[in-house]
Amino acid sequence: MTELDDANLIVEDLKRGNQRFLEGRSVQSSESSLIKLKDFAKRGQFPKAIVLCCSDSRAPVEMIFDQDIGDLFVIRVAGNIIAPSLVGSVEFAASTFGIKLVVVMGHSKCGAVTATLDHIIKAEAIPSENIHDIVSRIKPHIFSISQIPGISFEERTALAVKTNVIASTAELSYSSRLIENLVKNGKIQILGAVLDLDTGLVEFLKT
């Protein structure tokens, strides 16, 4: 079995977990999680996947995939942007734990994407330099979306969210020599996904 076969199996595991979450059949419990936490504190961690996702409080990654403590190495940042410290976090997890799968996950109604659209379309000011750094990383990905005529803001936002995820996934694949070599040699797979906040369903994207 190849590394990418392993990655595909993990994707299927995440999809099944998301389905359990949607059906109210989550199998994780606080009792078992506490036991695992104490065990991992002694033995170290062995996560099955890296998830680089938005910081939004409505998108708790472990919960929506019905995963437990120690299952996922989660990196959260507004707008699921690609920046040096975040790339370094992916590099650390991939090289330290031999993880075969990275998921870049956005979500519907993303505040960072909405703020970027407002900045482009309505020329709204950015309140700080640090927030501007986030917006400036999203803006090139979705500027063309902001110029499409005749669509609603909701449709524009949904398209921008998906486009931003696809762009971030591609950007991460070439963000460093280490990651680029892992991808080139089939050692790691990087996929995009979007969480629908209205339903809880996670859609894995073809990028």
Percent of the chain residues past pLDDT 70, beyond the cut:
96
pLDDT tens digits for 48-63? Answer: 999 999 999 999 999 9
pLDDT tens digits for 14-23? Answer: 999 999 999 9
Structural tokens at position 127: 């309140």
SS3 content of the chain, % helix, strand, coil (to 5): 55, 15, 30
Question: Residue 32: which pLDDT band, with cuts at 50, 70 and 90?
Answer: confident
In the chain the domains, ranked by start, together with CATH numbers, are: 3-205 (3.40.1050.10)
Q: Which residue has the higher pLDDT, 186 or 206?
A: 186
Strand order in the sheet with 49-53: 72-76, 49-53, 101-107, 189-195, 202-205
pLDDT at 38 exceeding the cut of 70:
yes
Round to whole Å and give the CA distance between 200 and 58. 10
CA distances from 22 to 4, 16, 81 (A): 27, 10, 27
- Kindly state the average pLDDT of the residues 110-123: 96
Round to whole Å and give the CA distance between 152 and 72. 36
Question: Residue 2: which pLDDT band, with cuts at 50, 70 and 90?
Answer: low
Side-chain-facing half-sphere of 27: CA atoms under 13 Å: 7
Residue-level pLDDT at 11: 97
Structural tokens at position 192: 């995009």
Whether the CB-CB separation of 127 and 154 falls below 8 Å is answered with no
Q: Which residue has the higher pLDDT, 43 or 185?
A: 185
Hey, which residues does 102 pair with through a beta bridge? 50, 190
Closest CA to 105 of 198, 191, 182, 170: 191
Residue-level pLDDT at 3: 61
Q: pTM value?
A: 0.92
Q: Which residue has the higher pLDDT, 30 or 22?
A: 22
Residue-level pLDDT at 13: 97
Question: Running DSSP on this structure, what letter comes out for residue 66?
Answer: T
Q: Which residue has the higher pLDDT, 135 or 44?
A: 135
Structural tokens at position 65: 């995939």
pLDDT tens digits for 48-103? Answer: 999 999 999 999 999 999 999 999 999 999 999 999 999 999 999 999 999 999 99
Percent of the chain residues past pLDDT 90, beyond the cut:
85
pLDDT at 46 exceeding the cut of 80:
yes
Round to whole Å and give the CA distance between 131 and 119. 12
